[in-house]
Amino acid sequence: MRSTALLIVLVALVSTGEALRCYAQDGTILQCTYGNEDLCMNYDDGTVKYKRCGMKDDCDDADMKRESPTFFCCRGDLCNK
């Protein structure tokens, strides 16, 4: 009985994912929405700058890539410094 309870707890801990964290433009840390926002973004076109959580579709945006020579997306915690 004790081993069954321990197994249930371990399975619950492993199956709950941890949300990605990204930097915001002001340097604070954002907790991304788990299962929705799966990457960090960094955009600067000379006028507009932002850092935030994002989705894959955001990173595939050809206009954003063309407008910002420093635009990039990454998938690690706090990778968009």
Quote the pLDDT of residue 45: 92
Residue 74 has pLDDT above 90, yes or no: yes
Rg (CA), the chain: 17
Whether residue 20 contacts residue 77, with contact meaning beta carbons closer than 8 Å, is answered with yes
| Domain residue ranges of the chain, discontinuous segments joined by + | 19-74
pTM, 2 dp:
0.73
Quote the pLDDT of residue 50: 94
Among residues of the chain, what percentage have pLDDT more than 90?
69
Ordered DSSP codes for 8-47: HHHHHHHHS----EEE-TTS-EEE--TTT--EEEEEE-SS
Q: What is the pLDDT of residues 32-53, one digit of tens each?
A: 999 899 999 999 999 999 999 9
Q: Which CATH number fits domain 19-74: 3.30.160.340, 2.30.29.30, 3.40.50.300, 2.10.60.10?
A: 2.10.60.10
